Each structure stands twice: as C-alpha cells, then as structure tokens.
Chain A
C-alpha cells in the first residue's frame, strides 16, 4: 500500500454517537495534518502533528479530538457532533511541518454526514 490512506471513506452518524477517523501514511513522513473541506470553501487546517507532537490546533471545538500514536498513524475522534460538522475530512502528511518547500500529500478523505 502506498501514499496516504483513510478509513472509513464514508460515515453517517447521529449527534450522540462517538466515532473515529483513521489515517495512515506509508511515505516515511514525520508530519501529519487534519483538514476540513466544506463545499465551495477553502481547506480549513484543524490539527498538525510533527514527530508525534501536536504543534497546531486551529481553535477546533473540543468535540474533535486528535490522536497521533506514531508518525505513521493519525486519528480523529468524534463525539456529540453537530450537523454543521458534515464535511469531507482530509488527512495529509509531509516530510517535516514548518520546514518550507514541504509538499503535503493527501488521503482521499472521509465524507462525514451528521444527522
């Protein structure tokens, strides 16, 4: 398996559910990212991990909780979400965050629908 993979690809959940999104990168990178992509809006950076340490949290509500057990895996734990959280959640990885000329490689995303 190559590149960046994400599971599940589609997720429908109620506002009281708890679920987790998983991301895995096979590129030997040290930085991983979570983005939210809503229709016709710019990508919104949510979290950044560099060498397993969280270096960025862009004022994301606490109902989104990231976890990075190692440089290859990233999770986004979801609980008590709101309908406006419905979006495409993209994971990305890069060699080292904040290093300049650092290209990010994206996974296919998880399409989340909150009912």
Chain B
C-alpha cells in the first residue's frame, strides 16, 4: 500500500531552527509537496520537489532524496506565526496526491 509518515507533533523555540521529516512509500513518484495549514484555515502551498536536493525559499527550505524515499522541511528563524500543521504529500504514478497526516508544530517563546 501507499504510505506517508511524518511526526504527529513537534515543539520548537522562537528564533530557532526545526526540521520536519517525511518518509514515503508510494507506487511511483512524480513530486513531493509541502503545505502549511493554520488551525481552521486552508492548507497553503509551501514547496515542491521533484529532483534530489535542497530547494530554498526564504526562511523555508525543502530537501528530497528519492532513493531514500525521504524529504524534510527546514524552518529557520522561527516565528510565533509558524505555529501550524505541516502536510507532506507525494504525487504518485497516477498523478494523485497521497497525503501524510500532518505534523503539528508548536512554537514557544
């Protein structure tokens, strides 16, 4: 079966760095997405990786290793507004998104 694993919850301190991991086993791979979802709001697109390596976008970076079925989202200089759930999703061979259950990130002052 298809499976996306990510930690249920993480806690970090304002100003620090946090890495949220995502591992996947899917039938085929056509790319990996990260979304941010604040409580009661829509998931919003953060990043897309289809080739191995690191993609940087301001304070957020996303890394992919296709051979290991592994990705991480790196958040630097954490701010209180980064408290949210972070969803990992893989596009399988049918171009359908397979979603993880999300990682709830709690930022403490």
Task: Give the residue name and chain of the B residue nearest to A103 (CB).
Answer: B45
B-contacting 9-mer, from A12-20, A66-74, A79-87, A105-113? A105-113
Task: Give the residue name and chain of the A residue nearest to B8 (CB).
Answer: A40
Q: How many residues of B contact A (CB 8 A)?
A: 26
A90 → chain B, closest Cβ, in Å?
7
Q: Which B residues lie within 8 Å of A43 (CB)?
A: 43, 87, 89, 97, 99
Q: How many residues of A contact B (CB 8 A)?
A: 22
**Residue of A42, A45, A100, A108 with most chain B CB atoms under a 10 A cut-off:** A42
Interface of A, helix, strand, loop or mixed by DSSP = loop
Within 8 Å by CB of B101, from A41, A99, A100, A102, lies A41
A98 beta carbon closer than 8 Å to chain B: yes
Within 8 Å by CB of A108, from B31, B42, B89, B99, lies B42
Q: How long is the Cα–Cα vector from A101 to B33 in the complex, in angstroms?
A: 9
Q: How long is the Cα–Cα vector from A99 to B43 in the complex, in angstroms?
A: 21
- Which residues of chain B have a CB within 8 Å of any CB of chain A? 4, 8, 30-31, 33, 35, 40-45, 48, 50, 87, 89, 91, 94-102
Q: Which A residues lie within 8 Å of B50 (CB)?
A: 101
Within 8 Å by CB of A97, from B44, B95, B98, B99, lies B95
- In the complex the two chains form, is B42's CB within 8 Å of A56's CB? no
Q: Which B residues lie within 8 Å of A45 (CB)?
A: 96-97
- In the complex the two chains form, is B4's CB within 8 Å of A42's CB? yes
Between-chain CB contacts (< 8 Å), 17 pairs:
A4-B42, A41-B101, A42-B4, A42-B98, A43-B87, A43-B97, A43-B99, A90-B42, A97-B95, A98-B94, A100-B30, A100-B31, A101-B31, A104-B45, A108-B40, A108-B41, A111-B40
